[in-house]
Structure 1
Amino acid sequence: MCGIVGVVSQSPVNQLIYDALLLLQHRGQDAAGIVTQQDRKFFMHKAKGMVKDVFRTRNMRSLLGNSGLGQVRYPTAGNAFSEEEAQPFYVNAPFGLVLVHNGNLTNAKALKAELFHHDHRHINTESDSEVLLNVLAHEIELGTRGLPLQPQDLFAAVAKVHKRIKGSYAVICHIAGHGMLAFRDPFGIRPLCMGKGADGTRMLASESVVLEGTGHLLERDIAPGEAVFISLDGQVYSQQCAENPKLMPCVFEYVYLARPDSVMDGVSVYQARLNMGATLAKRVISTVPPTDIDAVIPIPESSRPSAQQLAQMLGKPYREGFVKNRYVGRTFIMPGQSVRKKSVRQKLNVIASEFKGRNVLLVDDSIVRGTTSKEIVQMARDAGARKVYLASAAPPVRYPNVYGIDMPTSNELVAYNRSVEEIRAIIGCDALIYQDVEPMKQAIAAANPKLQGFDASCFDGVYITGDVTVDDIAALNAARVGGSEDDADTSRLALPNAGGDGA
């Protein structure tokens, strides 16, 4: 998962893009980058790290111009330790293109070979985003050779890109001297929206919270398969470029990834999480008598709306029992020391009075590996809880994600090839309650009848692009980014907008 933003204005945009990336920091903490344009020249700075650490005053002063784009990266494939794979990516022909991408191409390996043998283009990193940029550049070049650039030429190029690449992609591309091109995959798996400022500034971003947080009005989401071109004078052109587009966004955006104050594809993320809490309440009642529950306690942060609604439906007190330390830093490795794994107890602390002598229902947004859940359940017991029940607002995560979420391989998923009772025994809770897949989808879709479905592949194993095989998953798993404890702590409990079991 990543966060992307693009801006076309009549005023300098460096500070605006920086502010936008801060609002997208929850979508990626590995690296950040900004590129701006002035007089057909690009100015770029990118590096590993959080936004506040990557950009210093001297860097910001060098980012000149009234248009530009930015990205925060959370890598899912490629080399997590290479600054060369931080975005934006640049190619000098045709015209000069810089690109940011959120998503994951499922046929990147085949495309890379195709680019080399047939298109005579060189890919210098392991990033699928560089592959995507070169495919786009090749198609634009073929359609505009010797001719002035027109929006229709770009739309024709995007139509060809849709036919060549597979997977998920929300893309913003700056074309030197011309403007900003943005497009979304034919299923709309990854989000992208557009807005306008009072001064005429145009902004594209992964989430609506970026527009609102920078004083811009959300106009609409980019439709699946659609391409939008914004000229440097602010004129907007758009066209549907896919043959059979369907609105089927990633359900995990609503479960965990997005900020609760965002609206995606017509659905309030906060309302979606409230709805999931209401449907989860029915599952809880069928598993644990409400009379056996003394309090409902969320695992910070993104499970809070679901936990609040669940508590209300059960008629039970909602309590805050965990406090998250937002300032847990990296683990420094000194010579001669072994790697020390960070404990959940460094990231969360219990309020013992909320547990002592009580039967508590803990609510999480999702359970992935199960190791964090196991430790949190033990923390509740150590604080004096008589019984500890655990409810997940999402169904069991049984399958890997191939569309741009840093999801573990099958063997790392606690729910893979296990029954709910087997998972409960591993985690150590007295009862484990999961959301069902269809009620989850219905709870989210209730806010927008135009939704034709969801990518819920990590829950139901259905890969909506139709091109993913067992061999493809194995190859993607082999390319999946790993981390090490001597790097910055980016586990979900360490993130600004995190809750849930990411470790």
Structure 2
Amino acid sequence: MSDFLKHECGIAAVRLRKPLAYYKDRYGTALWGFNKLFLLMEKQHNRGQDGIGIGCGKIGMPLGEPYMFRRRSSEKDALSYVFRKEMKSYHKMVRKGRFDPNDPADVKRHFDFGGEILIGHLRYGTSGDFEEGSCHPYLRRSNWPTRTLMVMGNFNMTNTGQLNRALIDRGQHPVFGTDTQTVLEEIGFHLDEEHTDLYRELRDKGVDGSEIPELISERLDIVDLVRRSAASWDGGYAICGVVGNGDMFAMRDPHGIRPCHLLVTEDVIAFASERVPLMTVFEASEEDVRSIDPGTVVTIKADGSMAEAPFAEVGQVKPCSFERIYFSRGNDPEIYRERKAMGAALVPQVVEAIGGAVEKAVFSFIPNTAETAWYGLMDGLRMHRRQQVRERITRAMADGTLDEDLLDDLIMRNWPRGEKIAHKDIKMRTFIAQEKGRDQLVSHVYDITYGMVEEGDALVALDDSIVRGTTLKKSILKILTRTNPRKIVVCSTAPQIRYPDCYGIDMSELGKFIAFQAAVALHRKAGRQSLLDEIYDDCRREMAKPLAEMTNAVTRVYEAFSDDQISEEISRMVTPEECDWKGEVQVVFQTIANLHAAIGKPCGDWYFTGDYPTAGGYATVNAAYIRWYDGVGGRSYDLPL
């Protein structure tokens, strides 16, 4: 998307189903699992640029030997940095004769990541610091393996303040900053409780102390642990955890907001945020990989036994539609088809915007992630033109006017022309402090292909979504005007983004949305500031209600206007002011109905409709309006203590 937007993190996990010796014999290396983890993370590198972390759990280590390991980094190119560093350490120990690389047992004992459980996280931070300490996985150590816990996830909790309050009420001392710490401590608390209960029961029965750890490990109920931990969570999440004894779990929120996929083969049980990395890395078919059901936890005990069970009542299933529009890599067969369908669905609006003159228009896309939808748009335009030709030929045959000249005219004229007009040249750094200087830099992020737009042509540019409109106005449209088209039509495959997200996307400040700005501007032009004041009072009343009773008071901002009226105001707002070009800008948005039709299955649309899947969403949107009205920036979720 032209407006840079941070989004969901990525997770990857590999649980080997055989001893390391098996992988050495079959694949030539005891580090087969470690290598697969790297590939799974590399194939999801788009999901995290702020840092990475990896973890390893070793099953059945002798007493006195470490069994849980972690590395994290927020360095530039952290993924390559961490794995390169670990392999450098591996080869250094081999050269020094510390262990035999051909002996899997030796590798497991001496190399930190020579274990059966390997997990990795790619972080796009929406809270906390952007340093190594904020990277997953988070680790909670104990000298009891069944109380040692490592957790990572792709999630945002809307009620972190409330969760921290619960920790404090128990007598704990949480360290504020991220919801990750809260999740870790909540699971850790219930893990401690269950461990203590089992220990006392076994001790009181007279079981010998040396036998107690194994019995606790066998009886540890991970599903019940997850169920109790998640009882008060409000948000979207895909969370993976490893217990020191070798138990493991992966869970997905009850509304299926965050994605989590599962692959099971004879060699491995693997998890990832996206499906295609699992298919590619393990050479699996599309049918082999499936999503974890909403409200379900997959558990793998230390002995390798796997089970799936519900941990919460499933709500209305609303997977994040931005996964389909933009975030997930487009080589997933489903997502590829859906993005093409999104582009095709825009054809009627595009044809109307250019006055039906397809022969006098050039069709392009910005940025590269919109390319797949552009293919769909071009296919749709060709079908539109074929239908026109068919109808004209049918009429000509009926009235006897069909001849070679008419056929040549129909066949050769008015076919859609697709060109790559804009190229992202460099990634600009805003190292110039003055706003004017910074804007000049931003205006050179893209370069254009000259000579493709002819005199009198309209230029149609397809974008994934339009959030703030800043890049459109300050950069893209200024660049596109250099081609001197008669009109520029910017098409968004996503509908108008009107409401904040609180489940993973860094998109919670209401006042920054161009659709909200447009609606507010229309109200003020019409002298309806009093309505905006009333909505503020409504939001404050909503925030005084119990969380479960809140509604979205911000919908009133948009009720007075049609989608087209808001689009027209957006078009006016993003039109460049400081250029000599005299043409017209029109911004066209996908309809919500067409988005649902393109995806073809349940999808979340709260950022378009204000219909949130959890109670915390309604608290977020009302708080966001209050913050905007009061002139306060920052996140509008993480409700206060």
Q: Please give the TM-score of this superposition, normalised by the length of structure 2.
A: 0.68
1:496 paired residue number = none
Matching of residues 423-462 of structure 1 within 5 Å: 423-428=570-575, 430-445=585-600, 451=601, 453-462=602-611
Q: Describe how 1:182-221 pairs up with structure 2 within 5 A.
A: 182-197=250-265, 200-217=267-284, 218-221=288-291
AA paired with 2:14?
V
Identity value in percent? 26
Corresponding residue number in structure 1 for 2:311: 241
| Residue matched to 2:363 | 296
Once the two structures are TM-superposed, the CA of residue 77 in structure 1 deviates from its matched residue by 1.8
**Are 2:236 and 1:87 aligned?**
no
Q: Give per-residue Cα distances to partners, 1:348-394, cap 9 Å, x unaligned.
A: 22111223533211000100110112221221111333321111111
CA RMSD of aligned residues (A): 2.7
Find 2:196's aligned residue among 126, 140, 145: 145
CA contact (8 A) 2:294 2:314 kept: no
Change (3 A) 1:121 1:342: farther
2:596 maps to amino acid: K
Give the distance between the partners of 1:151 and 1:209, measured in 2 at CA: 36
Displacement after TM superposition at 1:130 (Å): 1.3
Say if 1:32 and 1:54, in contact at 8 Å, map to a contact too.
no
- 1:369 and 2:524 aligned: no
Cα distance in 2 for residues equivalent to 1:477 and 1:214: 42
The alpha carbon displacement at 1:330 in A equals 4.8
Q: How many residues align?
A: 466
Q: Report if the CA contact (8 A) 2:217-2:245 is conserved.
A: no
Q: Hey, what does 1:497 align to over in structure 2?
A: none
State the Cα distance separating 1:85 from its structure 2 match. Answer: 0.8
In our comparison, the structure showing a higher alpha carbon Rg is 2
TM-score scaled by length of structure 1: 0.85
Measure the CA separation in 1 of the matches of 2:368 and 2:72. 29
Q: Contact 1:168/1:189 (CA < 8 Å) preserved in 2?
A: yes
Whether the 8 Å CA contact 1:183–1:228 is kept in 2: the answer is yes
Residue type at the aligned position of 1:444: I
| Partner of residue 419 from structure 2, selected from 308, 319, 326 | 319
Residue 230 of structure 1 pairs with residue 300 of structure 2: yes
Change over 3 Å in CA distance of 1:370–1:346 after alignment to 2: same
* Residue 306 of structure 1: aligned partner: 373
Aligned counterpart, 2:248: 180
Residues 73-97 of structure 1, C-alpha deviations (whole Å, 9 max, x = no match): 11112223x3211111011255211
Classify 1:14/1:333 alpha carbon distance in 2 versus 1 (closer, same or farther; 3 Å): farther
The alpha-carbon distance between structure 1 residues 91 and 281, as it changes in their structure 2 partners (threshold 3 A), is same
Aligned partner letter, 1:289 = G
The worse-fitting range, judged by mean Cα deviation, of 455-464 and 284-293 is 284-293
| Shift in CA distance, 69/269, structure 1 to aligned 2, threshold 3 Å | same
In the alignment, structure 1 residue 277 sits paired with structure 2 residue 343: yes
Deviation of 1:216 after TM superposition, in Å, equals 4.6
Question: 2:459 aligned with 1:351, yes or no?
Answer: no
**Residue 67 of structure 1 corresponds to which residue in structure 2?**
117
SS at match of 1:397: coil
Contact 2:15/2:268 (<8 A) preserved:
yes
Cα contact 2:15–2:116 (8 A) shared by 1: yes
Higher strand proportion (structure 1 or 2):
1
Q: Return the match for 1:47 from 73, 78, 82.
A: 73
Distance 1:417 1:8, change over 3 A: same
Which amino acid counterpart does residue 55 of structure 2 have in structure 1?
V
Matching of residue 5 in structure 1 with residue 12 in structure 2 = yes
Which residue does the alignment assign to 2:568?
Answer: 421
Q: Which moved more, 1:290-299 or 1:433-442?
A: 290-299
1:478 aligns to what? 634
Q: 1-side partners of 2:439 and 2:595: how far apart? A: 34
**Cα distance, 1:342 vs. partner?**
7.9
2:504 maps to what in 1?
Answer: 404
Following TM superposition, by how much is the alpha carbon of 1:340 offset from its aligned partner in structure 2, in angstroms?
4.5
Aligned equivalents of 1:19 and 1:352: distance in 2?
A: 39
- In structure 2, how many angstroms separate the alpha carbons of the residues matched to 1:127 and 1:342? 36
- 1:45–1:59: 8 Å Cα contact kept in structure 2? no
Q: Residues 379-433 of structure 1, C-alpha deviation per residue, up to 9 Å, x if partnerless? A: 1111333321111111111111111101151111111142211110122252221
One-letter identity of the residue aligned with 2:496: P
Structure 1 residue 129 displacement after superposition: 1.2
Structure 1 residue 2, shift from structure 2 partner: 0.3
Does residue 18 of structure 1 match 2:70? Answer: no
Check 1:121–1:149 CA distance in 2 against 1; reply closer, same or farther (3 A cut): farther
Pair 1:317–1:232, CA change in 2 (3 A)? farther
Counting only pairs closer than 5 Å after superposition, residues 376-395 of structure 1 correspond to structure 2 as 376-395=476-495
Distance 1:3 1:410, change over 3 A: same
- Residues 290 and 309 (structure 1 numbering): CA distance in 2 closer, same or farther, change over 3 Å? farther
From the superposition, tell whether residues 373 and 227 of structure 1 become closer, same or farther in structure 2 (CA, over 3 Å). same
Note the alpha carbon deviations across 1:151-201, whole angstroms, 9 max, x for none: 87211122223321111110011111223200011001000001135x511
Amino acid at match of 1:426: M
Distance in 2, Cα, partners of 1:337 & 1:458: 30
Gapped regions of structure 2 (runs ≥ 5): 1-7, 21-30, 91-111, 199-215, 383-415, 519-565, 576-583
What is the Cα deviation at residue 100 of structure 1? 0.9
The structure whose residues are more often helix, as a share, is 2
Residue by residue, what CA displacement relative to the aligned partner does 1:22-74 show, whole Å, maximum 9, x if unpaired?
11111110111111123362221111143445425333445332312111111
Output the amino acid matched with 2:119: L
- What is the deviation of 1:286? 3.8
Contact 1:355–1:380, Cα closer than 8 Å, also in 2: no
- SS of the aligned residue for 1:430 comes to strand
Rounded to whole Å, the distance in 2 between the matches of 1:432 and 1:472 is 29
Contact 1:366 1:393 in 2 (8 A): yes
Letter in 1 for 2:67: K
Describe the shift of the 1:108–1:477 C-alpha distance in structure 2 as closer, same or farther (beyond 3 A). farther
Displacement of 1:332 in angstroms is: 5.9
Q: Which residue identity does 2:46 align to in structure 1?
A: H
Cα pair distance change 1:177/1:439, threshold 3 Å: same
Distance in 2, matches of 1:291 and 1:338, equals 38
Partner of 2:377, secondary structure, is helix
